Amino acid sequence: MISFKMSPHQIQVKEVVHWFAENEMRPISLASDQHKRVPDEWLENINQLGIQLSTSSFGDSDSTSEESDQTEKRKKSERQGNRLAVIAAEELGWGDPAIALTLPGPGLGGPPVQASGTPEQKRRFMSIFSRDEPPRWGAYALTEPEAGSDVSGLKTTAVKTNGGYILNGQKVFITNGARASWVVVFAKVDQKSGRAGHRAFVVEKGTPGFSCTRLADKMGLRASETAELLLEDCFVPEENLLGGESYYEEKSAGHTGFRVAMQTFDNTRPIIAAMATGIARAAFEYTLDFVQHEYPKHGRSFHTASTILAKAQQEIDVSRLLTWEAAWKADMGKPNAKEAAMCKSFSGTISLGVCSRCLEVLGPDGVEGHLVEKLYRDAKIFDIFEGTNQIQHLIIARHLYEPLGVRV
């Protein structure tokens, strides 16, 4: 049975991250959105605090030190990195989701390196993210112009050559793609083999043939960097094939780049869901306070607003519980693809809905330049990235029908 009572350590993490969100993120939130960037000086100062949007920040992932062996031996019941990550992610989403995505660290590139990388690759690529080092970022490049929700259709190629691979292709909507020290890039070694031909490579910044061609101008998350990346005859050494060639030769284990991508989503979708929950909570709390102080305490308007906020509270609580279950299963080493899809889909939908209804309650006080208006714009992408709602529903449907022998 899952306990809904947070442990003292979980409460401490929540309080520390909330203090950070309230005192460090909120003061620069609207200005960062307006200027479409987070100040460099702020990032340099924050890097020393070591707060990142990943499970690795909370101690349960494979580390770059010898302690990783001890982590593997630890009882599953003692692991809580995924739960701590979603607790922290909700607070960071409450503070500012765009700034949260811009925090220095491996980002979405971290989970595939930790899950599939060799010990040497983990040490090499993860050791650069240190409080004692300048701010650095990792990134994750899967989406292409013609391969978004259906990632099995990616077109980027990887041709084996002496000592490595030649990569050619284009990647789009890559968070922190331009500033990243390295990017996990997915490509196909065989266009005819479908998903089995997928491979994951770590491409380092400055590699000849690897460039950022454009930074996207977005409706929401405007302070977060979203890049388009181009690979033109880009040579990637053999040692940068994530997991090494032997990893993909284990046919019985089903190791492919596609599997690496899907395993990554199972870990990151609950974090994204928690951020969406935090966005909804931020809009709800602001609007609740507004209604309490600005609306007449008796009358039709107050009753209508109160009903809207009551429904918002219900949706936020359900979203949180779905997310906690997905994170708990990940900590226990249990398959959580269905739960990750459920919480991601539900939280994205309710986040946008809560923000929309809060704007209606606020009326003229929620127009452009206002916190809730910004949260509304930010919330929309949570319906889309990390897999659209339609894809999440397909994943859920497969888990419903596969036990019955029906293929969806």
User: Which of the four pLDDT bands, split at 50, 70 and 90, describes residue 85?
Assistant: very high
Summarize pLDDT for 172-192 with one digit per residue, the tens.
999 999 999 999 999 999 877
Residue-wise pLDDT for 273-304, tens only, equals 999 999 999 999 999 999 988 877 666 688 88
Closest CA to 158 of 259, 257, 261: 257
Catalytic site residue from 41, 315, 386, 402: 386
- pLDDT average, residue stretch 56-85: 58
Structure tokens belonging to residue 22: 């309230």
Which pLDDT tens digit goes with each residue over 215-268? 999 999 999 999 999 999 999 999 999 999 888 876 545 556 677 777 778 888
Residues of the chain with pLDDT > 90, as a percent, come to 67
Number of residues assigned to the chain = 408
Mean of the pLDDT values across residues 143-147? 89
Q: Active-site residue 133, yes or no?
A: no
Q: How far is CA 264 from CA 73, 270, 367, in A?
A: 22, 11, 37
The residue type of 22 is E
Find, among 156, 128, 123, 153, the residue nearest to 141 by Cα. Answer: 156
The residue type of 258 is F
* CA 10/CA 5 separation, integer angstroms: 9
CA–centroid distance for 5 within its chain:
25
Instruction: Determine the distance from the C-alpha atom of residue 103 to the mean position of all C-alpha atoms in its chain, rounded to a whole number.
Output: 12
Instruction: Count Cβ atoms below 10 Å from residue 398 Cβ, excluding itself.
Output: 15
> Which residues have CB under 8 Å from 142's CB, separation 6+?
151, 154, 171, 186, 261
d(CA 11, CA 84): 9
pLDDT value at position 289? 93
**Which segments of 24-143 does DSSP mark as H helices, in order?**
26-35, 40-47, 67-73, 81-95, 97-102, 110-116, 119-126
List, in sequence order, every beta strand (DSSP E) within 205-349: 210-215, 226-237
Which residue shows structure tokens 């040497």? 120
Give the pLDDT score at 293. Answer: 86
**Where does residue 71 fall: left (phi above 0), alpha (psi -120 to 50 degrees), or beta otherwise?**
alpha
Evaluate if residue 56 carries a pLDDT over 70.
no
